[in-house]
Amino acid sequence: MWTYSKKLEYPVNIKCPDPRLAKVIISQYGGPDGELAASLRYLSQRFGMPDQNAKAILNDIGTEELAHLEMVGSIVHQLTKGASIEEIEKAGLAPYYTDHGVDVYPQSAAGVPFTAAYIACKGDPIANLQEDLAAEQKARATYEKLIDLCRDNPDVIDPLRFLREREVVHFQRFGEALRGVQDKLANRKFYMNNDCNVKPATDNNDCGCGN
């Protein structure tokens, strides 16, 4: 289960609201490569992982993504806080304002509402981990585009750079988890059915020699 900690993982303090930036950054909240999709993707995939390391990494990265969701939500909130109707209109946020006011609603930069179709759970640990590696790279690329678009606002760039960096670390960890899963599948008989209960405790000290 989860408990809430009343602090952001990395601080967000934006002095100059700018609804134009909120309009694009919201994609990392509820867009195809956003933090909501990432957390749900990993937390859903963890159930089907064949070894302890892969379960742990999906559990723990999925949890960190929830903290990132909160950070992105805070950025969007602070960028729209106190904005005038004229500023909102000028930013192209009139349609958003019509349906959501200045609430933080999970949607892409293009206005597509969040959908579970962004999440892949293929029932295959290799396919899932490959998907996660791609997802981290796509999120990194998105953050880089957002950093380009936010070039005039250092208060926004700072947390975005932190979030971008985390994508790089997650990619690294998923790569290691994938190698572990591949070794495991190569080294022993692995039955892919629901009756097969892989006992994680006994696999812990597995040196990989197959004995």
Partner 1 sequence: MHNNCMEQTRNEMLMQIREYNFSIIELALYLDTHPEDKKALCLHKEYCKSLKDLEDKYQKVYGPLTIKYPCNKWRWLEEPWPWEGDAN
What is the C-alpha to C-alpha distance for residues 108 and 115, in angstroms, rounded to an integer?
10
**Dihedral sign, Cα of residue 138, residue 42, residue 199, residue 169:** positive
172 vs 204 by CB, closer to partner 1: 204
What is the C-alpha to C-alpha distance for residues 79 and 23, in angstroms, rounded to an integer?
9
54 vs 160 by CB, closer to partner 1: 54
Question: Minimum Å distance from CB 56 to partner 1?
Answer: 6
144 vs 203 by CB, closer to partner 1: 203
Q: How far is CA 119 from CA 33, 58, 134, in A?
A: 9, 14, 12
Q: At which residue do the structure tokens 């994609």 appear?
A: 27
Q: At which residue do the structure tokens 């209109």 appear?
A: 89
Q: Can you tell me whether residue 123 is helix, strand or coil?
A: coil
113 phi and psi, to 5 degrees? -65, 155
Q: How far is CA 209 from CA 53, 186, 205, in A?
A: 18, 11, 11
**Dihedral sign, Cα of residue 150, residue 118, residue 108, residue 159:** negative
Question: Minimum Å distance from CB 83 to partner 1?
Answer: 29
98 vs 202 by CB, closer to partner 1: 202
What is the C-alpha to C-alpha distance for residues 58 and 39, in angstroms, rounded to an integer?
9
52 vs 74 by CB, closer to partner 1: 52
Binding site for partner 1 (CB under 8 A): 1, 46-47, 52-53, 55-56, 59-60, 200-201, 204
Question: Minimum Å distance from CB 59 to partner 1?
Answer: 7
115 vs 204 by CB, closer to partner 1: 204
Question: Minimum Å distance from CB 201 to partner 1?
Answer: 7
Q: At which residue do the structure tokens 């408990």 appear?
A: 3
Question: Minimum Å distance from CB 60 to partner 1?
Answer: 6
Question: Minimum Å distance from CB 46 to partner 1?
Answer: 8
